[in-house]
Amino acid sequence: MTAQRHAVVLLSGGLDSATVLAIAGDDGFTLHALTFDYGQRHRHELDCAATVAKASGAVHHVLKLDHAAFRGSALTDGPEVPVDRSEDAMSDGIPVTYVPARNTIMLSHALGYAEHVGSRDIFVGVNAVDYSGYPDCRPAFIEAFQSLANLATKAGVEGDSFRVHAPLQHMNKSEIIQRGCALGVDYGLTSTCYQPAADGTPCMRCDACALRARGFREAGVIDPLIGHQTAGEQD
């Protein structure tokens, strides 16, 4: 059998998921990128997801979810994300940006979509290095979700098993960036900031911007997004 294999890739428009999409493509999968529109405040991400999907040749699906689907997080509630870049805030405990059951919800929808399109391979950009504080980024969670997928579905029960791929799982940000660069990812198309300006300009103050900046610095690569931004500022 040399039938074409299909992969469903969770694509947020951020750096990590753009890299995962490139990895799945490099693995030879026909790509289906799945993005959630849940009324996120950083809506610039949705435009980035569309651009990244198009650049990769992926079929792009945007699934609308009720804003209330993701609750109790600084990312979706309230006027502004608390900013605390101290080492303690970034490495200890569960971050304020934790969203209850976020990855479980997203993977569940990816599972339904994958079964529908005949894909048995789901790719997700979690990593357990930079995001060790999030319970649903840990390897044990990914393994448990894969087991659940094979109990929960017609395909799984019939022995046509699902695999949940988390290729960034053991990479830190600079390793992710290096891998993506090797695969030709244009990180200038991505968005990372928790509270960008209306035109997508990153704030350079939030945790996400700080992690991204450190990642590029450690990878020895210039962030094309900042290059773009700097050029813009000179106008």
- Which residues form the interface with its own copies (CB under 8 A)? 61, 63-66, 68-72, 94, 98-105, 107-109, 111-113, 115-116, 135-136, 138, 140-141, 144-145, 147-149, 151-154, 156-157
Smallest distance, its own copies to C-beta of residue 65, A = 6
Residue 40 or 153: which CB sits closer to its own copies? 153
* CA-based torsion, 191, 192, 194, 196: positive or negative: negative
Residue 138 DSSP class: S
The Cα 228–Cα 235 span in angstroms is 11
Smallest distance, its own copies to C-beta of residue 199, A = 28
Cα R_g (the chain), whole angstroms: 17
Question: Which residues fall within 8 angstroms of residue 113, CB to CB, at 6 or more apart?
Answer: 8, 32, 34, 61, 63, 119
Smallest distance, its own copies to C-beta of residue 134, A = 9
Smallest distance, its own copies to C-beta of residue 169, A = 15
Residue 72 or 82: which CB sits closer to its own copies? 72
Smallest distance, its own copies to C-beta of residue 113, A = 7
Residue 139 or 220: which CB sits closer to its own copies? 139
Residue 5 or 113: which CB sits closer to its own copies? 113
Question: Which residues fall within 8 angstroms of residue 174, CB to CB, at 6 or more apart?
Answer: 214, 215, 216, 217, 218, 219
The Cα 6–Cα 160 span in angstroms is 13
Residue 64 or 163: which CB sits closer to its own copies? 64
